[in-house]
Amino acid sequence: MNFREALSKEHSKTLAQQIADISAKNPEKLAELMSCFFDEDIRICQRSSWSVGLLGVKHSDLLIPFVRPMLDGLDNPKHDAIVRNTLRVLEEMDIPEDYEGEIFEKAFNYVVSTKYAVAIRAFSIALVAKIAVKYPALKEEVLAEFITQQEYAEKAAIRFRLKKYIKLLS
């Protein structure tokens, strides 16, 4: 299957899962998927990001070589789906220590800004907590911010995530 061609014709959960499954078994196809994820065509990026997110939930270790370009992609994302699925992958991954600071900073900025979509903020809450739990000084700072955010959270998904991770960090 040519991923780019398939993604240009269809956007479905079935196709996204097929592409994720094929990519998990074949390094050449994984490279093809990630090429689509970083493609200039916004539609190809958006559609391939679903497969990347699905792959990341089951096989996040396969995506470790792509962490650097994925983080670079967060600086100027073509679509919210790129951000959302990058964060989903990072949440599932054993994050390489070299990237923890940068990931923490980016995710923390998503948490505190209400301009981002709910899913982006929710995944960021989990990611920030995942990193902060390792570092006592950071943990206290994050806990204080989560408590503050909880007071003003308008969306149920944000309140739920904050409550869950406040408990974890307490």
Question: What is the pLDDT, as a whole number, of residue 32?
Answer: 98
Last residue of a domain, one of 39, 72, 94: 94
Whole domain around residue 135: which residue ranges? 99-170
**pLDDT-derived band at 25, boundaries 50, 70, 90:** very high
The predicted structure's pLDDT at residue 67 = 97
Do residues 59 and 117 both lie within one domain? no
pLDDT at 88 over 90: yes
User: How many Å apart are CA 98 and CA 96, to the nearest integer?
Assistant: 5
What is the predicted pLDDT for the residue at 103?
98
Domain identity same for 28 and 67: yes
- Give yes or no: residues 56 and 83 share one domain: yes
pLDDT at 2: 98
CB 83 within 8 A of CB 93: no
**Integer Cα distance of 116 and 17 in angstroms:** 26
* pLDDT tens readout for residues 60-82: 999 999 999 999 999 999 999 99
Counted domains in the chain? 2
Q: What angle do CA 86, 25, 5 make, to 5 degrees?
A: 70
Same structural domain for residues 57 and 83?
yes
pLDDT at 154 over 90: no
**106-131 exposure pattern, b = at least 16 Cβ within 10 A, e = fewer:** bbbebbeeeebebbbbbbbbbbbbbb
Q: Which of 63, 94, 125 is the last residue of a domain?
A: 94
- Whether residue 140 is predicted with pLDDT greater than 90 in this model: the reply is yes
Q: Does 50 share its domain with 104?
A: no
Is residue 54 very low, low, confident or very high in pLDDT (cuts 50, 70, 90)?
Answer: very high
pLDDT at 19: 98
The pLDDT value given to residue 73:
95
Q: 30 with 76, same domain?
A: yes
Q: Verify that 71 and 117 share a domain, yes or no.
A: no
Identify whether residues 131 and 155 lie together within a single domain: yes
- Asked if residue 76 and residue 107 are part of one domain, the reply reads no
